[in-house]
Amino acid sequence: MTQIELRGIQKFFGAVQVIKDLNLKIEDNEFIVLLGQSGCGKTTTLRAIAGLETIDEGDILIDGQAVQHLKCSDRDIAMVFQSFSLYPHMTVYENIAFPLRATRMSRSEVDKAVRGIAGVLRITDLLNRRPSALSGGDMQRVAIGRALVRRPKAMLMDEPIGALDAKLREEMRAEIKRLHLEQGSTTIYVTHDQVEAMSLADRIVIMHEGILQQVGSPSEVYSYPANLFVAQFVGSPVMNIAKAQVSEEAGSARVTVDGAEKGFAFPNELLGKIDRLKGANGSLALGIRPEGVMVEHQAREGFLPVEAQIIEPLGSYDIVDLKLGSQMLRARTRSGFVASAGDKVFARIDPTQAHFFDTKSGNSLGVRL
Amino acid sequence: MATAVMTTLDQRTRAASRGMSDISIRNLFIIPTILFLIVFNIFPLLYSLYYSFTDFRASTNAPANFVGLQNYRELLNDPFIWSNFAITAQYVIVSVTGQVLVGFGVAMLLNRDIPFKGLITTLLLLPMMLSMAVVGLFWKLLYDPSWGVINYALGLGNFEWLANPKMALYAVAITDIWMWSPFVMLLSLAGLSAVPKHLYEAAAIDRAGSFYTFFRITLPLVAPILMIAIIFRTMEAFKTFDLAYILTSQPTTEVISIRLYKMAFQEWQTGRSCALAYIVLIMVIAITNIYVKYLNKVKER
Ligand SMILES: Nc1ncnc2c1ncn2[C@@H]1O[C@H](COP(=O)(O)OP(=O)(O)OP(=O)(O)O)[C@@H](O)[C@H]1O
Ligand SMILES: [Mg+2]
C-alpha cells in the first residue's frame, strides 16, 4: 500500500540542472516506467527517490510523508541496480538473505523467506553459488530476489535487463511482469527501450533533458503523443513528421506537406479544429506513423502518386520509404506489397491517425479526428 | 630447451652489430645474478646447515666435530630458549595487532574525499622509510624518563619505559607500531579503495547499518590484501633485531634474534647458533604457511 509523490523536484550537479521541476504521483501497486534517452536524468530521479542522491528543491512523499531528509534505510525502498551490485563474496543465498539479516530477522524466518523467494524466481538450485558463477539472467533474478525478499514499500529498477541479450530480455520482461502481478508492489522501472516500456508499464513517464514530457498509459502515449519529442521517441519505426499547411479546396480540407505539390484530403472538421494561421506561419507540423500511411497500386480518390525509394523487408511487414515531392514518407505495408524500389504507387493518410503539432512550442495541438 | 623458444636478435641492434648472440646476452645478464645468489645466499645456507650438526666454534682453530642432532635436541630442551620464543611471540602479537588496528583505522579515515589526501598519505608513510637504527636511537631519546618528549607530553613524570622490565617490550612494540603501521595503512588503503562504491549503496538500500556494512562488506573484501600485510609484518616481527637491540638490553626484551646474535657472536657457539637459526627459519615458514593457506581460502571467489 504505497503511494509515491514527487513535488517540484529540482536537482543540480554543480551548475548543470539534471532534474527540472518534476511532478509525479504514483498510485499504489502501479507499475511506472521512466522512459528517456541516455543522460536525461532517469537514474538520478530513481536515486533521489531511493535516497542515494539529495535533491536541491521539492518534496518526495511516500504515503503522504515527506522523506527527502531521511536516509535510504528509513525509506524502506528496494532497488535493483543497473549493474546488479551483487555482493561478490557471498553466495546467492547470503545475497538474498542480506537485507533480512541486516535488520536482525531470526534465522528460521530468514531461511523461509529466502527459500520462498528463490522458488518464485526459480533459482533454488543456484543458492549455493557465488555471483561470479552466474549468467547475466541469473544475476538479474538474484538482484530482484534481494530486492523483493523484504517486501519493500516500493521497488525501483534501473535498467535491470539492459545488459542482457535480446532473447533473454524478452524472457525477463515477461518474468518481471509476472512477478509484479503475483507480488504486487509499487514499482518504478527505468529504461531507454520503448518496447520494454510499452510492454511493462501501467503508465509511462517520458523524460527529456530532465523535463517530464508526458505521463500516460502505453496506448495513450503512443496514440496521443503530447509533443514532438514523445511522438518521435515512442514507436518504431519513428513517426513521419513534416511541416505542413492546411487549406480549403473544393469545399474539403487539404493538408499539404512542405515540398509536395498536392495535399492529402482530410475531413472537413479539421478546418474548424485547427487555426489555419498556424499553417500560414509555417509553424504547423503533421505527424503520421508508418501504419497510418495507406498505400495502393491504383490511383483512387484522395491518394497522391508517390515513388517507392527504399524497401526494408522486416518479415511480417515491410517499411517502404515513399518520395512525396521533396519529402520522404515511411509507410508500413504488407510484406512484398511494393515489389521493388522505383515503383510508382499511391498513398494517402488515415486522418484518424494524423497528429498536428505546433513546431514553435513542439506541443501537440490535440486535434483528434 | 630454453634456447629454442628465444627469438633471434634483431640484426640492426647494437648488440647484434657487436657480434653478440642471444645466448651470450642471456649469459651476460643471468650468470652474474646466479653466481651472486649462490655465493651469498645458497652457499651460506647449506654451509650453516652443515655447521648446525657440529660443535664448531668460529673463535677457535679446533676442527668441527660431527655431533648429529645434539644441538637441536639441547636447544629444544632448553627452557631459556623457550622463554625467548615466548617473548618473541608476545612481541609479534602486540606489535602486529597494533599495526593492523592503527594502520587499518587510519586507512578507513583516509578513504574518503578529504583535502590534501595525497600529501597526508605521503607524510604518514615517512616513518616506514627511515632506517631501523635511526628510529631506534630516535625513540630512545623520546622515551628518556627525565627529558624525553613522551613523558612530557603525556604528563607521566619520570616514568621508566625502557629500564622497566615489564614495560620495555611494549615500548619496543610501540616503536615498531609507529614505524610500520604506515605499511599496513598503505595496503589497506589500496584494498579499501578497490571496494566498489555501488556495493555500499546496495547495502544502504538493504538497510544495513554501518557496523553491519563494515563487518559483512568492507572487511571481507579487504581481507585478502590485509592478510598479505599481516604475513609480511608477522615475518618481520618474528625476526626483529635492530629495534629491540638498540632500544634496550633487558632480559625481558631478549627476542629470539638477539639470543641468536649473542649465541653466535658473543658466546661463539657457532654450530649451536646455526641450529637455532634453522629452528627459527622453520618456524617462520610454518607460520607463513598457515597464513597463506588462509589467504588462499579467502581469495577463493
Ligand atoms: N554524480 C554526478 N556528477 C555530475 N553529473 C552527474 C552525476 N551523475 C549524473 N550526472 C549527469 O546527470 C545527467 C543525468 O544522468 P543520469 O545518470 O540520471 O542519466 P540516465 O537518464 O540514467 O542515463 P542512462 O540511460 O545513460 O543511464 C547526465 O548528463 C550525467 O552526466
Ligand atoms: Mg541510468
Residue A364 lies in a domain: no
What is the arithmetic mean of pLDDT over B123-133? 93
Domain that holds residue B201: 74-300
Residue A363 lies in a domain: no
- Residue B259 pLDDT > 90, yes or no? yes
Pairing of strands A31-36, A186-191: parallel
Residue A265 lies in a domain: yes
Instruction: Give the residue, by CA position, lying nearest to ligand 1 atom 7.
Output: A13
* A208 touches ligand 1 (CB under 6 Å): no
**pLDDT number for residue A246:** 85
Nearest bound ligand to the CA of residue A192: 1
A164 shares its domain with A31: yes
- Residue A53 pLDDT > 90, yes or no? yes
- Tell me the CA distances in angstroms from B37 to A296, B34, B278, one per residue in order: 91, 5, 19
Q: Residue written as cell 664448531?
A: B56
Residue A233 lies in a domain: no
A147 shares its domain with A249: no
- Strands (E) in A131-275, as ranges, are 154-158, 186-191, 203-208, 211-216, 240-249, 252-257, 264-266
- Residue B58 pLDDT > 50, yes or no? yes
- Residue A59 pLDDT > 60, yes or no? yes
- Strands (E) in A2-76, as ranges, are 4-13, 16-26, 31-36, 57-62, 65-66
Q: Which of A364-368, B20-24, B97-101, B145-149 has the highest mean pLDDT?
A: B97-101
- Residue B5 pLDDT > 60, yes or no? no
- Are A149 and A114 spatial neighbours (Cβ–Cβ below 8 Å)? yes
Question: A279-288, A345-354, B265-274: which range is least confident on average?
Answer: A279-288
**pLDDT number for residue A301:** 82
A293 shares its domain with A218: no
d(CA A26, CA A227): 22
Q: Which of A233-242, B23-32, B214-223 has the highest mean pLDDT?
A: B214-223
Burial pattern A265-295, b for ≥16 Cβ within 10 A else e, equals bbeeebeeebeeebbeeeebbbbbbbbbbbb
Average pLDDT, chain A: 90
Residue B258 lies in a domain: yes
Residue B6 lies in a domain: no
- Residue B1 pLDDT > 50, yes or no? no
**pLDDT number for residue B4:** 47
User: Is pLDDT larger for residue B296 or for residue B4?
Assistant: B296
A132 shares its domain with A90: yes
**pLDDT number for residue B22:** 80
- Residue B3 pLDDT > 60, yes or no? no
Boundary (domain end) residue, out of A204, A226, A248 = A226
Question: B13-17, B44-48, B81-85: which range is least confident on average?
Answer: B13-17
Q: How confident is the model at residue A91 (pLDDT cuts 50, 70, 90)?
A: very high
Residue B245 lies in a domain: yes
| Three cell numbers written together for A181 | 502481478
What is the arithmetic mean of pLDDT over A237-260? 85
Boundary (domain end) residue, out of A161, A196, A226 = A226
Q: How confident is the model at residue B2 (pLDDT cuts 50, 70, 90)?
A: very low
Alpha-carbon distance A72 to nearest alpha carbon in chain B (angstroms): 6
**pLDDT number for residue B159:** 87
- Total domains in the fold of chain A: 2
pLDDT tens, B39-56?
999 999 999 999 999 998
A59 shares its domain with A201: yes
d(CA A184, CA A163): 25
- Residue A66 pLDDT > 50, yes or no? yes
Q: Residue written as cell 592478510?
A: B227
Domain that holds residue A155: 4-226
Strand order in the sheet with A304-313: A293-296, A344-349, A304-313, A317-324, A327-334
* A43 touches ligand 1 (CB under 6 Å): yes
- Residue A196 pLDDT > 60, yes or no? yes
| Three cell numbers written together for A185 | 508492489
d(CA A212, CA A221): 13
Give the chain B residue nearest A81 (alpha carbons).
B202
CA of A40 to the centre of ligand 1 (A): 7
What CATH number should be reported for the domain holding residue A35? 3.40.50.300
Question: A66-75, A163-172, A185-194, B179-188: which range is least confident on average?
Answer: A163-172
- Are A221 and A206 spatial neighbours (Cβ–Cβ below 8 Å)? yes
Residue B67 lies in a domain: no
Give the count of beta carbons closer than 10 Å to the beta carbon of residue B184.
27
CA of A139 to the centre of ligand 2 (A): 18
| Three cell numbers written together for A14 | 554543480
To the nearest 5 percent, what fractions of chain B are helix, strand and coil?
Answer: 75, 0, 25
What CATH number should be reported for the domain holding residue B86? 1.10.3720.10
- Residue B197 pLDDT > 70, yes or no? yes
Q: How far apart are the first and last CA of chain B?
A: 37
d(CA A144, CA B219): 25
Instruction: Give the residue, by CA position, lying nearest to ligand 1 atom 8.
Output: A44
What CATH number should be reported for the domain holding residue A352? 2.40.50.140
Is residue B212 within 8 angstroms of chain A, CB to CB? yes
Contact at CB, B207 and A73, closer than 8 angstroms = yes
- Total domains in the fold of chain B: 1
**pLDDT number for residue B11:** 67
Per-position DSSP letters for A225-247, written without gaps between them = -SBHHHHHHSSSSPPEEEEEEEE
* A36 touches ligand 1 (CB under 6 Å): yes
Provide, rounded to the nearest whole percent, the portion of chain A with pLDDT above 70. Answer: 98
User: Is pLDDT larger for residue B245 or for residue A252?
Assistant: B245
A71, A73, A89: residue with CB nearest B221: A89
Average pLDDT, chain B: 90
**pLDDT number for residue A277:** 59
A10 shares its domain with A54: yes
Residue B35 lies in a domain: no
- For residue A288, what is the enclosing H or E element? strand A284-288
d(CA A33, CA A48): 16
**How many residues can be counted in chain A?**
369
CA of A232 to the centre of ligand 1 (A): 22
- Residue B301 pLDDT > 70, yes or no? no
- Tell me the CA distances in angstroms from A362 to A23, B67, B212, one per residue in order: 20, 102, 52
- Residue B194 pLDDT > 70, yes or no? yes
Instruction: Give the residue, by CA position, lying nearest to ligand 1 atom 9.
Output: A44
pLDDT tens, A94-117?
999 999 999 888 999 999 999 999
